Amino acid sequence: MSDGSVGLLRKCGISLSNGAGKLKTEADNFPLEIFFLRDDDIPDYVADGVADIGIVGENVLVENPRPVETIEKLGFGRCRLSIAVEKGAMYRDSNDLAGKRIATSYPNILSRFLDSKGVSANIHKITGSVEIAPSIGLADAVCDLVSSGSTLFTNGLREVERVMSSEAVLIASNDLCDAAGALLDKLVFRLRSVKAASQNKYILLNAPREKVGSIASILPGMRSPTVTPLAEKGWVSMQSVISEHEFWNVVDELRAAGAEGILVVAIDQMIV
Ligand code: AMP
């Protein structure tokens, strides 16, 4: 999370003093002081006003809700909180968890999930190395964060229930002073531009002039596509922005409509 957070701030043009291993650093070109803290502690520091804003996984906030405001989902640190059982264990549905011992660092979320399914199980709260609990006889199942799934796999576990999805979020103290509030607005504006850029691509293509109308109707763009003439008579270059999600479908439609020489370029910043 800290690498992702620092990387995101850098993309927002905020350059941090190179303090590898330091727990506190300052931005060189933005009035921001950064504390590197344990994720579980971050909501408390923000709620207590020790820090004005924080970046933390949603999972931490949902487990221990604090009086802080969630400002923005940040699109990194994506993971899921899942229940896993030993690879060979029989599992049909959540009823198979009844009476079982489940090890987790997220007892509140797990307990709400089990209640919602009407299942009664024994929750064992442990703070780390949750995945080894079944192999050392401490539990029958685990409820832990999963990203790639390789930790579960290497510990002989199989994911059977997805309890919640999570990603990094920006949180803020409920009583920011005006100056800090103004800085937060500035930061959020930059974060949204970086996020919009990462969710969109810049597309350039060549097309016969008579196809401009049909191709323009496929390219949503920010307003409408730019059309410039090519040196070759009767041909134009068209440029626009397309969403990452619909990218391949749009490219297929463009080719069918007569587009050629399609180039797709990553966008660094997108001012929205
Ligand atoms: P993976 O092997 O990629 O599925 O990662 C699983 C391990 O990384 C588990 O020990 C998780 O507790 C931890 N983990 C994965 N994603 C996150 C996250 N977004 N925040 C905190 N811990 C995570």
147 and 259 in one domain?
Answer: no
- pTM of the predicted structure, to 2 decimals: 0.87
153, 83: one domain: yes
Residue 82 exposed, middle or buried by CB count within 10 Å (0-12, 13-18, 19+): buried
Residues 192 and 210 in one domain: no
How far apart are the CA of 222 and the centre of ligand 1, in A?
A: 36
* Domain end residue (candidates: 166, 183, 214): 166
d(CA 272, CA 270): 6
Do 152 and 224 fall within a single domain? no
Q: How far is the CA of 136 from the centre of ligand 1 (A)?
A: 20
d(CA 81, CA 106): 9
Instruction: Give a yes or no: residue 272 inside a domain.
Output: no
Q: Last residue of a domain, which of 197, 214, 244?
A: 197
Nearest Cα residue to atom 21 of ligand 1: 145
What's the CA gap between 149 and 105, in Å, rounded? 17
pLDDT in tens, the chain (272 residues): 899 999 999 999 999 876 667 889 999 999 999 999 999 999 999 999 999 999 999 999 999 999 999 999 999 999 999 999 999 999 999 999 999 999 999 999 999 999 999 999 999 999 989 999 999 999 999 999 999 999 999 999 999 999 999 999 999 999 999 999 999 999 999 999 999 999 999 999 999 999 999 999 998 777 889 999 999 999 999 999 999 888 899 999 999 999 999 999 999 889 87
- Residue of 145, 155, 163 with the most ligand 1 atoms within 8 Å of its CB, for mutation: 145
The CATH number of whichever domain residue 213 belongs to comes to 3.30.70.120
- Residue-wise DSSP of 83-106: EEEETTS--SSGGGGTT-EEEES-
Mutate to test the pocket of ligand 1, among 144, 146, 159 (most ligand atoms within 8 A of CB): 146
- Residues 94 and 143 both lie in one domain: yes
**Last residue of one domain, picked from the residues 197, 213, 244:** 197
Contact 10, 27 (CB under 8 A): no
Say which CATH number the domain at 100 has.
3.40.190.10
Do residues 182 and 210 both lie within one domain? no
Atom of ligand 1 nearest to the CA of 153: 2
Contacts of 154 (CB under 8 A, 6+ apart): none
Q: Which residues have any ligand 1 atom within 6 Å of their CB?
A: 1, 57, 77, 79, 144-151
Asked if 160 and 90 sit in the same domain, the reply is yes
Residue 190 lies in a domain: yes
Please tell me the distance between residue 169's alpha carbon and the centre of ligand 1 in angstroms.
16
- Ligand 1: centre distance to CA 130 (Å): 11
Number of domains within the chain: 3
Host domain of residue 190: 2-76+167-197
